[in-house]
Amino acid sequence: MFEKIFSFKHIYDHSKILVDLDQKFYKSLDMKGFPYFVLFDEEGNLLFMKRGYRGRKEFSKEINKFIDKHFGNSK
């Protein structure tokens, strides 16, 4: 159904995508505005949440900094 609305051609595991039509997830995290990038661990614990779009380069730097800090070198 969602393939008619959204393009997921570069994402092979569609179970990793949440389309929050009723906004329950959005409201549960007290989100304001969009877009959001959220990162969870295997147990469902929120590890990282960022609102807004700042460009691919800056976003990649920020994610790599988070990974380096919490999980070791991202390279």
Domain residue extents for the chain: 2-71
What is the residue-wise DSSP string for 7-53?
A: --TT-S-GGG----TT-HHHHHTT--SS-EEEEE-TT--EEEEEES-
- Give the DSSP letter of residue 75: -
Q: Which two tokens stand for residue 4?
A: 């008619």
pTM (whole model) above 0.85:
no
| Average pLDDT of the residues in 20-44 | 83
Give residue 10's pLDDT band: very low, low, confident or very high (50, 70, 90).
low
- 75: pLDDT confidence band, cut at 50, 70 and 90? low
Q: How confident is the model at residue 11 (pLDDT cuts 50, 70, 90)?
A: low
